[in-house]
Structure 1
């Protein structure tokens, strides 16, 4: 079964937890412990990526896949981040901004290598929402996030993504954000659109995790919190597992 088909089947019944691994934030000393923790956890997916990547992403993905049975999915910041080693790639377009490099430019550069690789592609609308601080993705993409108190703009942007044929939405507050994507925004999109919804950024506490789950996130992405304290992974997995019994 393809990665995307597997995700769709799972989210019919429950939410999923994805662990975000940034190659530049994993040191040789910490990598083994992190991979062991992910492998032993009940996390559903592993996302690999970041706004800037100077490390060996191919090698990291190979080591992850050698020890982890969960799908490893590329979450690229630039076209140069592509690696054919992954199980699937989120083919992102930053629809919340108006910078052509991130709307279509990087995608043109990456398209032929991805097509020739045979890696599964998941066309994903990437929507940046203000998380209370300037994040790496905002700075690197030279785009403004949608204001957190403007769910109508987010809804219109996400609706355009659905009409354009994207397969998933990725609502992003950004790495290191002070606040996660507002629950009202998640709930509004969940009620009015049919696209599976990924939510990431600013999810550092159990309370924040519960809020985005209750609002309707299909996949919750956590990175910084696990970088700072890997032991949180077990507790977050437990919360997502408990939430699986609720009506979707």
Structure 2
């Protein structure tokens, strides 16, 4: 959910619905944001008070401040935009964030768990280009193999294959899954509107399928049920098993 578009009361209702469906976590994310420190702590607190599933944040960095940190969140995805033409968004932003976190602040809560993410954009995306100078990933085996070698070498926790217009194919997902380490998670996100697409990505090896825009409508409850309304994890099932078979509600703005 985009906390800068979705009112907090609606976010609470959506979070409760996501948890009831047995989905593993909720992402609060946006490409753009204003007054982060004023808005996010209260927003996160309201959502956290309503559910027990982890709340994860996913926001781009800004030069001079790094990645924004939301007090109270369980984890934050720290994107390294490997397809950006600006070195700040490729790697400098992550180092800036780590340096600022290590210097200590007046923060009253522990930092969220920081998950290092290799973020790759597929297909045209003027919004991401204007904000972070990202360009589409070349899909040749040679280009993908180079990126995979870098991702394995640097030990990223998460690989996020993103397209604003659902332009990541299951075949690309499968290509990454077959070559990444088993412990490197694959997230797929962007423009996903059908259960068929979710199932295709899961079959291709995605660990999580992320969606948000599909729920930005008055009848979001019916849409959520249609997209992922099967299933609560069976009693006694491990959280890892649930994560491998469930879609994750949330996404980028």
Instruction: Say yes or no: TM over 0.5.
Output: yes
State the partner residue of 2:40: 57
- Cα distance per residue 1:167-208 (max 9 Å; x no partner): 22111113xx2x241111001111122222111112111221
Question: Relative to 1, partners in 2 of residues 1:37 and 1:239: Cα closer, same or farther, differing over 3 Å?
Answer: closer
State the partner residue of 2:117: 124
Name stretches of at least 5 consecutive residues in structure 1 with no aligned partner: 1-20
* Cα RMSD (Å): 2.6
> So what's the TM-score if we normalise by structure 1?
0.78
Residue of structure 2 aligned with 1:41, choices 17, 21, 31: 21
State the partner residue of 2:160: 170
State the partner residue of 1:190: 177
State the partner residue of 2:78: 91
State the partner residue of 1:11: none
The separation in 2 between residues aligned to 1:137 and 1:202, in whole angstroms, is 14
State the partner residue of 1:202: 191
The separation in 1 between residues aligned to 2:126 and 2:195, in whole angstroms, is 22
Is 1:144 paired with 2:135?
yes
The separation in 1 between residues aligned to 2:141 and 2:230, in whole angstroms, is 26
Question: Relative to 1, partners in 2 of residues 1:189 and 1:80: Cα closer, same or farther, differing over 3 Å?
Answer: closer
- Cα distance per residue 1:148-180 (max 9 Å; x no partner): x53542342133111112122111113xx2x24
State the partner residue of 2:236: none
State the partner residue of 1:232: 223
Question: Relative to 1, partners in 2 of residues 1:151 and 1:33: Cα closer, same or farther, differing over 3 Å?
Answer: farther
Post-superposition shift, 1:59?
1.5
How many pairs does the alignment contain? Answer: 220
Post-superposition shift, 1:241?
6.6
Name stretches of at least 5 consecutive residues in structure 2 with no aligned partner: 105-109, 234-240, 246-253
Is 1:161 paired with 2:138?
no
Higher-helix-fraction structure: 1
The separation in 2 between residues aligned to 1:168 and 1:162, in whole angstroms, is 11
Q: Conserved in 1, the CA contact under 8 Å of 2:115 and 2:158?
A: yes
State the partner residue of 1:216: 205
The separation in 2 between residues aligned to 1:104 and 1:224, in whole angstroms, is 28
State the partner residue of 2:168: 181
Q: Which is further off, 183-192 or 27-36?
A: 27-36
> So what's the TM-score if we normalise by structure 2?
0.76
Is 1:25 paired with 2:16?
no
Q: Conserved in 1, the CA contact under 8 Å of 2:81 and 2:120?
A: yes
Question: Relative to 1, partners in 2 of residues 1:235 and 1:159: Cα closer, same or farther, differing over 3 Å?
Answer: farther
